[in-house]
Amino acid sequence: MNEEVVTVLKMVEEGKISVDKAKEIIEALESSSKNTDIVPAKLYDDKFFRVNILSNEGDRVNIQLPIKVIKEVIKLTGKLPISTSIEGMEGIDIDEIMNTIVSCLDNEVMGDIVDISSSQGDIVKIGIS
């Protein structure tokens, strides 16, 4: 069992997230592990970190940041500026998300990192391409 799954199960045990949310996260982690590749460092730094969100109400958020920029922000500040005050993010461990992103950057992972489709029709995709 990988480290991310263990962390999700601990969050359920501690009551931070529901069993349904844990199932959704674990399925996304398993899906992302099947869709990842490793590329040479020089080419990797030219890639983009992408966040795509589509709400069931039609709202869209599309963010793309160069990997070089993200690495520099992490190097200078030790973290990414991720807000914890977003509705629906209650109980989500931002530090764990940050650690997962940093691990993906350190290991030069390509492809989907997170791919979630909620029962309400919301879609969240985070990846490097």
pLDDT bin (cut points 50, 70, 90) of residue 64 is very high
CA distance 17 to 108: 29
Residue 13 confidence (pLDDT): 87
67 pLDDT band, cuts 50/70/90, is confident
Across the beta sheet with 123-128, what order do the strands follow?
36-38, 109-117, 123-128, 48-54, 60-66
- 100 vs 87, residue with greater confidence: 100
Nearest of 95, 93, 113 to residue 105 by alpha carbon: 113
Q: Is the dihedral of CA 52, 46, 108, 102 positive or negative?
A: negative
Amino acid at position 30, single letter: E
* pLDDT tens readout for residues 9-55: 888 888 888 888 888 877 777 765 555 555 555 687 788 989 898 88
Q: In angstroms, rounded to a whole number, what is the distance separating the alpha carbons of residues 120 and 18?
A: 16
Q: What is the mean pLDDT of residues 76-85?
A: 70
Task: Name, in order, each residue with C-beta under 8 angstroms of 114's C-beta and a sequence gap of 6 or more.
Answer: 28, 29, 32, 124, 125, 126, 127
- List of E strands, 36-129: 36-38, 48-54, 60-66, 109-117, 123-128
Give the chain's mean pLDDT: 79
CA-based nearest residue to 28, from 88, 79, 83, 97:
97
